[in-house]
Amino acid sequence: CSWSDGQVTTPEGYKDAYQLFAEGGWSGLGGNPVYGGMGMPKVLAAQFDEMVCSASLAFTLYPSLGAGASLAIDAHASDELKEAYLPQMYSGEWAGTMCLTEPHAGTDLGIIRTKAEDNGDGSHAITGTKIFITGGEHDLTDNIIHLVLAKLPDAPAGPKGISLFLVPKFLVNEDGSLGESNTLACGSIEHKMGINASATCVMNFDGAKGYLVGEPNKGLNAMFTMMNYERLFVGIQGLGSSEMSYQNALEYAQDRIQGRSANGAVQKDKAADPLMVHGDIRRMLLNMKALNEGGRAFSTYVAKQLDIAKFSQDEHEKEKASALVALLTPVVKAFLTDAGLESCIAGQQVFGGHGFIREWGQEQLVRDVRITQIYEGTNGIQALDLLGRKIALSGGAYLETFLGEVRSSVNSEDEFAEELLTAVDKLEELTRQLLAQSQNDPNVINSACVDYLNAFAYVAYGWVWSLMSKTASKKLAESSEDQPWLEAKQITARYYFKRILPRFESSAAAALSGTDELFTLSPDQF
């Protein structure tokens, strides 16, 4: 992207691609049908999200930010605002953004300074500077709808004094046509490590006209409505990049000849054998495959819980699904993006020196996927949310709901029953010990959380691999259709249990190591 005098130009081809995307109806896939959305469940949207992220993470951010903003508007805005904005957002005619971060306030939104003053006409005047605004300005749509966090004059200090406003780039006339420019501008775009086709904007609001979404001072709550969707989506961004890396690396490993098999030459008529003959190449590919398919199953499970929480008529079922969403969303966001980096690095490594060169595309995947571990709450913040908020604050209740699901799915004759149940017991015991430690030392949660999240995720992936293997066995017993594919599931499940699940042990040991060394060093001893 390039910036000039407040205008942002996206790369060649982006306008056409966006047009096609919008015309296909993809912008409104999960949107409310009342306002022209398709009302599709998240289990479907998640699969679509992964595909478009594999194709181009930077491109995908433009329509997805609009979808995210629509979600918040649909859940919290007045009917008037919904009618005025949602149809054009679902159709892709207008894009959307989320304006949260300020130069001094990223993770800590309680200290934002952007202010909102009542205009006395049902609108507010929004003034302040927001940074890191994805798609804050671009040339793909006629209008851009900003959702902005700001403080009312009488707002209490901290996170409980933040309100949410809808602030359009162009004001919308009563007949739905576009009116004058709002008083806001894109001051510059960032030069970044990756997703360079996605405009990351500094946005200056100078008394811009905005409309309150939801209750005053409840802006963070309104944001959190969509947070689970957004965080699931970011996890899927990691997965999409990772899947692309795997597919590229697999093709390269089959084509590129280099060295000989340890069992003697396979392609005797050629100067060398394909990379695929080497155990270490297969190890990298299988690591990626096991993490990708595990991540896909796990995130789809969470998407299903989101759907149940939204669509079910059964209160008990809704409540259980909501608890599972609350617990598992930070795991999806953090672990799928960490695994995404691991797989993009591995896929690049398969290419050797060529992986470092731009023309092969592998290095871009690494640069792009890296942001997914940082934005929408860093992975450290996800881990803190998991262990501190979702587990410690619920006294372990959410966790027990999840472990109950896992345990009740296991039959003693399952191939991995013993390993899985042992891992579940260990996770439960690890949690118990950490919660006990944290009674006397509040720093335990923050110090252990990242390693804990990893330990949690290795067990969760073990569970979905066990389920997939069981389903594959059942299907194989029923028919010979898809036999190679189903057998691959069984073998990859075994690979996961033998080769990846053992990482649980080192994560658990690190999580349990206490805070003595962490907090003994004075700043000048670092």
Catalytically annotated residues: 376
Residue 375 in contact with a second copy, rule: CB under 8 A = yes
To a second copy, the closest distance from the beta carbon of 488 in angstroms equals 4
Q: For residues 397 and 509, which CB has a smaller minimum distance to a second copy in the complex?
A: 509
Residue 343 in contact with a second copy, rule: CB under 8 A = no
Residue 345 in contact with a second copy, rule: CB under 8 A = yes
Contact 200, 301 (CB under 8 A): no
To a second copy, the closest distance from the beta carbon of 510 in angstroms equals 5
Q: For residues 11 and 179, which CB has a smaller minimum distance to a second copy in the complex?
A: 11
Residue 128 β-bridge partners: 205
Closest CA to 366 of 454, 254, 249: 249
To a second copy, the closest distance from the beta carbon of 35 in angstroms equals 32
Interaction with a second copy in 463-502: which residues (CB under 8 A)? Answer: 484-485, 487-488, 491-492, 494-495, 498-500, 502
Tokens in use for 159? Answer: 């996170």
Residue 358 in contact with a second copy, rule: CB under 8 A = yes
Residue 509 in contact with a second copy, rule: CB under 8 A = yes
Site string for a second copy, 86-125 (x = CB under 8 A): ---------------x--xxxxx--x--------------
Residue 55 in contact with a second copy, rule: CB under 8 A = no
Largest CA distance in the chain: 83
Interaction with a second copy in 212-241: which residues (CB under 8 A)? Answer: none
Site string for a second copy, 278-317 (x = CB under 8 A): xxxxxxxxx--x----------------------------
The secondary structure of residue 151, as a DSSP letter, is: B
Q: Are strands 163-168 and 170-172 parallel, antiparallel or unpaired?
A: unpaired
Cα 374–chain centre separation: 10
Residue 2 in contact with a second copy, rule: CB under 8 A = no
Could you give the CA distance from residue 115 to residue 122 in angstroms, rounded to a whole number?
A: 16
Question: How many C-beta neighbours within 10 Å does residue 262 have?
Answer: 8
For a second copy, the binding residue among 93, 190, 400, 405 (CB under 8 A) is: 190
For a second copy, the binding residue among 67, 321, 328, 448 (CB under 8 A) is: 448
Could you give the CA distance from residue 277 to residue 270 in angstroms, rounded to a whole number?
A: 14
Residue 503 in contact with a second copy, rule: CB under 8 A = yes
Closest CA to 155 of 219, 108, 223: 219
Residue 435 in contact with a second copy, rule: CB under 8 A = no
For a second copy, the binding residue among 4, 153, 174, 191 (CB under 8 A) is: 191
Residue 207 in contact with a second copy, rule: CB under 8 A = no
Could you give the CA distance from residue 348 to residue 285 in angstroms, rounded to a whole number?
A: 11
Contact 92, 66 (CB under 8 A): yes
Residues contacting residue 136 through CB under 8 Å, at least 6 positions apart: 97, 99, 130, 144, 146, 186, 199, 200, 201, 202, 203
Tokens in use for 134? Answer: 């994805």
